[in-house]
Amino acid sequence: MKRKDKEIKEIKKFRKKFYDDHANDYDNGWWNGENALEEFEGFKKFVKIKPGDIILDIGTGTGTFLIEMAKMGAICYGIDQSPKMLEKLRIKVKQEGIEKNIEKISEGTAENLPYPDGIFNWVVCIGMIEYYPLEYAKAVLLEINRVLMPDGHCFIDIPNPNNPYTQERDWIFSYNLEKFEKMTKSLEFKISARNKAGFMLQYLLFK
């Protein structure tokens, strides 16, 4: 486990610098990606926010999804370890005029969430878990479970291990799906739906 901890620490450090360095061009790159529309449609199909819902976006980045949820009337919290990505998000929040729906944007990491137990209706984590081994995904899901309300929902994505895009990229962790789903169930999540979106698999989980 010590070796895994060291590996995870190194990935976090690498990704922090990577996203700080790429914050300026992140949004253009994302929307030009071949998966973007499918991912966005999957998100819209599954994440049914009611006005006033309290939501958390982990690895929120420049806030592509956080801003959508704010526009749906959610009270939003976002967390990300890259200060430069969060700078971009703060600018977009002002441009969109949605300040009243943004409760708190924090710099921090996914396995150690700075929120009390049971306060969120929804937690989403999009485009982040794929950089990490399954052990980290488990630590993040454990934290998500802690901060979700008893009837809360979670929307996450992981790479589809059967897609060639995933197989060709050695920085993407490709989980054994049986193991991944067994792990989520061991944390007492129910899998409500799965959706293929490009090379990603989107999951809707209920507590």
For ligand SAM, the binding residues (CB under 6 A) are 12, 15, 19, 30, 59-61, 64-65, 80-82, 85, 109-110, 126-128, 131
Q: How far is the CB of 56 from ligand SAM (least distance, A)?
A: 12
Q: 64: closest CA among 83, 50, 78?
A: 78
CB of 57 to ligand SAM, least distance (A): 7
Minimum distance of ligand SAM from residue 126's CB (angstroms): 4
Nearer to ligand SAM, 17 or 190 (CB): 17
Query: What's the closest the beta carbon of residue 136 comes to ligand SAM, in angstroms?
Result: 7
Three-state DSSP class for 96? helix
Q: Shortest CA distance to 128 belongs to which of 69, 73, 66, 189?
A: 66
Nearer to ligand SAM, 109 or 195 (CB): 109
Residue with the CB atom nearest ligand SAM in the bound state: 61
Number of continuous H segments (helices) and E segments (strands) in the chain: 8, 7
- Exposure string of 2-17, with b = 16+ CB inside 10 Å and e = fewer, is eeeeeebeebbeebbe
